Structure 1
Amino acid sequence: MVRQARRSNQARRGESQERILDAAEALFARNGFNGVSVKDIAEAADVDASLLHYYFTSKAGLYSAVIGRRAGQVNAARLTALQTYAADAGGAVTVAGVVRTYVQATFDFAMTGGEGYLNYLAVIAQLNSTPAGAIPIAEATPFDDVVQVFIDLLRQASPGSTDAELYWFYHMLSGAISLSWARTGRIDRLSGGVCRSTDFEAIAAQMIAVFSRGLDGPGTPAGRRRGGV
């Protein structure tokens, strides 16, 4: 008779931590940081609350761990896509190309990751619309370095745009992405079901179409400087 190998303490700890993170992620996505208690998370994860404090120190520490757990995957997807596009385009990067690359990588992540990833993106949507200092890490997120790569590529693609215009452009795009990640259902009601807040494929296509001309169209500041109306 072959005796099954016992799991190591490290493996058991890892499983417990993942279960806690999954439970916290789902609850934060639904109720927000301030609407969830350590007790709520412990009950959802089926662990003693003392274990949460042991692994993560506090609810704030757990929240930061939830944000950090998948951030590397989001950053890698975006950064790899942007670097590949820049290498392929050489010196001929365009606003449309940069926007398409960034948005598509963002929503490919959302469409292929399953329910846990959707919960994570809902948490990020809340983080993006929360005043600095209201919740942990609201002032700086793990995504800022890749955002700067995106803006640097926009600067190459639209040399006539000022830094203020580039950062406002990102601000507007980030807002559209965050609202989409939140999946509020409002667009479903407004459109009578023609548009669905869960249809990330359609959202990505529409976002790319709208923002691809956001710096160079005739109605934009850069477009007007180039002689547009």
Structure 2
Amino acid sequence: MARQSDSDETTARKPNMREAILCAAEELFSTNGFNAVSVRDIAQAAGANPGSVTYHFKTKDGLLLEIYRRHCGPMNRRRSELLAAARRVRDLQDRLEAIVRAYVLPAFSSGSDLAGGGARFTRLRAVMSAEGNEVAGRVIAQTFDDTSHAFIDAIHESLPHIPRAEIVWRSHFLLGALYYTLVQPERVARLSRGDADGSDAANAIEQLVRATVAAFQAAALDRPAPLRRRSAAQAKS
């Protein structure tokens, strides 16, 4: 049998090398953050040379963007599909619950995506958000802002008496709860002394949906006076 030529072997390896670089970068970013990881670190972990990283992704920023796209593209599409169905629900209470479920459910489903990489990507998202890196911020905005605006608008349509700015705050809290639930399920078991299983995705989804719906339905805050106006009033007293 004829031996495969070196050029044929190189061509055959290219898709595998690209995948190896993505997996290595995702693992390193999820463990060490974005700032602390270099292109050389990624190449070494992938068994590649730094030129391979720049060949496939141009920059470290481009590599992070591709990681987000490959995970979040399917999740955002699924969220949009479920949101479209939820907005057709006539009863406002049922519609609100369906909207929240449309946001939460795909995040749990993605945990089994990409050969088990969903949990690792969830950890990466939490690390990126905590790190406050400017590049990560741009990537997150580019990946999620359109979908997030669609959900906020849909919730506001179901709760028109709640100012949109307050719905943004409550959506922000939902995102934090979602991250923490996915990243630290064992904490639920520990604090409940074993009465609850944090890794039970179905129960976690129901608990999160119920708590979030109640939070969205809470009365709006009385708006405080602007800071400068309060300061002037205090100066006169």
Contact 2:27 2:120 in 1 (8 A): yes
Q: Quote the residue 2:209 is aligned against.
A: 208
Give unmatched runs, 5+ long, in structure 2. Answer: 222-237
CA contact (8 A) 1:77 1:109 kept: no
* Superposition deviation, residue 172 in structure 1: 0.7
**1:203 corresponds to which letter in structure 2?**
A
**Structure 1 residues without counterparts, runs of 5 or longer:** 223-229
CA separation of 1:7 and 1:173: change in aligned 2, threshold 3 A: farther
Aligned to 1:17: 18
Supply the distance in 2 between the matched residues of 1:154 and 1:193 (Cα, whole angstroms): 35
- 1:105 paired with 2:145, answer no
TM-score, normalization by structure 2: 0.77
User: What is the deviation of 1:99?
Assistant: 1.2
Which residue of the partner structure matches residue 62 of structure 2? 61
Deviates most, 16-25 or 96-105: 96-105
> How far, CA to CA, are the matches of 2:96 and 2:68 in structure 1?
29
TM-aligned CA deviation for residue 169 of structure 1: 1.1
- Note the C-alpha offset of 1:131: 2.5
CA deviations 1:8-30 (Å, max 9, x no partner) are 97664332211210121122122
Q: Distance in 2 between matches of 1:197 and 1:59?
A: 34
Amino acid at match of 1:59: K
Q: Distance in 2 between matches of 1:51 and 1:111?
A: 28
1:118-133 aligned within 5 A: 118-131=119-132, 133=134
The residue number in structure 2 matching 1:50 is 51
Corresponding residue for 1:226? none
| TM-score, length of structure 1 as denominator length | 0.79
8 Å contact kept, 1:85–1:101: yes
Change (3 A) 1:50 1:204: same
Separation of aligned partners in 1, 2:36 and 2:161: 45
Q: State whether structure 2 residue 223 is matched by structure 1 residue 221.
A: no
Greater Cα offset, 21-30 or 133-142? 133-142
CA contact (8 A) 1:99 1:208 kept: yes
After superposition, the C-alpha distances for 1:167-215 in whole angstroms (9 at most, x for unaligned) are 1111110111122233375445444454555443332221112111112
Mapping of 1:185-204 within 5 angstroms?
Answer: 185-195=186-196, 197-204=198-205
Distance 2:115 2:161 in 1: 41
